[in-house]
Amino acid sequence: MGAVLEVATSHPDYTTPEQKRSLLRLEIDGMKVRPCAGSAGLEYVAVARGDLDATAFCWENAWDHAAGLLLVTEAGGTQTTVSGRPFRIEGGNDLPLAAARDSNTAARVRKLFAGM
28-86 confidence digits (pLDDT tens): 888 898 888 778 899 999 999 999 999 999 899 999 999 999 999 999 999 999 999 99
Residue 2 has a pLDDT of: 57
Q: Tell me if residue 6 falls in helix, strand or coil.
A: strand
Q: What is the pLDDT of residue 1?
A: 43
Domain count, the chain: 1
CB 55 within 8 A of CB 37: no
Q: Residues 4-8: what's their mean pLDDT?
A: 90
| Domain span including residue 47 | 5-114
What is the pLDDT, as a whole number, of residue 87? 95
Q: How many CB atoms lie within 10 A of CB 75?
A: 14
CA angle 48, 104, 52 (to 5 degrees): 30
Give the pTM. Answer: 0.88
Comparing C-alpha atoms, which of 27, 72, 75 is closest to residue 97? 72
